[in-house]
């Protein structure tokens, strides 16, 4: 069963509650505030906001050379 995030809470369900279909979906709802995104990453969640599009585009550089070394770019 899908968990809906509440706007007044930054809590997330346990990662083992992620659905198999769609692949790895843990929860829906909430917002894209900095506080929620930080809480999600600390919890081990990596937010997506539409049709398999991540919040950080991997087709452009997001940092210096050390950051770029840890990113695999799509061709």
The pLDDT of residue 47: 72
Q: What is the pLDDT of residue 75?
A: 41
pLDDT average, residue stretch 33-46? 90
- Give pLDDT tens digits for 54-72: 555 555 545 555 544 444 4
CB-based contact 27:3 (threshold 8 Å): yes
Decide if pLDDT at 40 tops 60: yes
Q: Which domains does the chain have, with CATH numbers?
A: 3-69 (3.30.70.3550)
Contact 28, 5 (CB under 8 A): yes
Which residues, at least 6 apart from 4, have a Cβ–Cβ distance to it below 8 Å? 27, 28, 29
3-class secondary-structure state, position 31: coil
- pLDDT score of 12: 94
CB contact at 8 A, 12 and 43? yes
At residue 70, what are phi and psi to the nearest 5 degrees? Answer: -90, 5
- pTM here is 0.59
């Amino acid at each position: 069963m899908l968990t809906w995030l509440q706007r007044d809470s930054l809590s997330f369900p346990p990662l083992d509650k992620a659905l198999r279909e769609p692949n790895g979906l843990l929860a829906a709802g909430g917002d894209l505030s900095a506080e929620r995104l930080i809480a999600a990453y600390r919890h081990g969640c990596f937010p997506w906001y539409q049709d398999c599009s991540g919040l950080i585009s991997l087709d452009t550089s997001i940092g210096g050379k050390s950051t770029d070394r840890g990113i695999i770019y799509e061709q």
